[in-house]
Amino acid sequence: MAGDNAAMAELWNGRSGENWIRFDEHHNRGLRPWGEAVLAAAAPGAGERVLDVGCGTGWMTRTAARATGDGHALGLDISEMLVARARESATAEGVGNVSFTVGDAQDHPFEPASVDVAISRFGVMFFADAEAAFANVGRALAPGGRLAFACWQDLPHNHWILVPLGAMTAVVGMPEPPPPDAPGPWSLSDPDRVRSVLGAAGFSDVALESVEAPMWLGDTVEEAYDFVRGSSNVRLLLEGKDAETVARALDALRTTLDGVEVGDAGLALPGAAWLVTATRA
């Protein structure tokens, strides 16, 4: 595995993977509006074969598998620990028509035309070479196969991360922004780039729909603070800072979350993603 994908493999087989597992059910609840939108758009049906790219702990994969009846769903992820948790969850839930494998969608040796629909819930923004990755996923799809995924819109539309990070960067300063096409949460936030990448990868009928929903961060301020503080975004922001600066930044985070109204549905802040659909040409 070369280049930035090796770095991503190290990240998701390390502290980011550990953190995701710690907050597994938390993530599934917070991200549910966008996962459900992907599944509705993909509409896996009876007997179909589904590929879940960047499946994480496999909530989407298992849900898609149930929808296929006697079909099958395959979850692929770069993280061994997330795949292990996905397998455990499938066994615990009695979902038998699902399998999981460790691999990088950019170069995984998929059997050509082996799936009918490919899906992803925020698992496609981390490729070192997005065009190569989507082309490889396209080869796995049968002719006319469907692609549906969610990717974050740009940061100003996602207050669930903008507000907490804004509080902390007031203390620690703004980090150097990565190149717009660098692997990361916002790499597919530009609709023109999405259309360009998918077109070059051999997809047609590319469409983007905005899906806006509250991102649930916790039932209480304390729960939201624990969740945000443990995230990869916060960890990377505070990495290398001295203890006093870290403490002041976390105090600013807590103060900001204290100022967010906690409603009947808990503490939530606006989020926005693109629901992207396309067809294998």
Work out the pLDDT band at 2, boundaries 50, 70, 90.
Answer: very low
Per-residue model confidence (pLDDT) at position 12: 75
The residue among 198 and 16 whose pLDDT is bigger is 198
- Which pair of tokens denotes residue 165? 């990070």
Residues with Cβ within 8 Å of 153's Cβ and at least 6 positions away in sequence, in order, are 189, 210, 272, 273, 274
d(CA 223, CA 23): 11
The pLDDT of 202-226, averaged and rounded, is 97
Question: What are 142-184's pLDDT values in tens digits?
Answer: 999 999 999 999 999 999 999 999 999 999 998 888 887 888 8
d(CA 13, CA 56): 11
Per-residue model confidence (pLDDT) at position 4: 53
- Which pair of tokens denotes residue 14? 């390390």
Closest by CA position to 233, among listed 171, 181, 127, 160: 160
**In this structure, are residues 125 and 149 in contact, taking their beta carbons and an 8 Å threshold?**
no
The pLDDT of 72-84, averaged and rounded, is 96
CATH architecture of 3-155+179-214+272-280: 3-Layer(aba) Sandwich (3.40)
The pLDDT of 221-241, averaged and rounded, is 93
DSSP at 157? G
**Domain ranges for the chain:** 3-155+179-214+272-280
User: Lowest-pLDDT range, 2-6, 24-28, 69-73, 258-262?
Assistant: 2-6
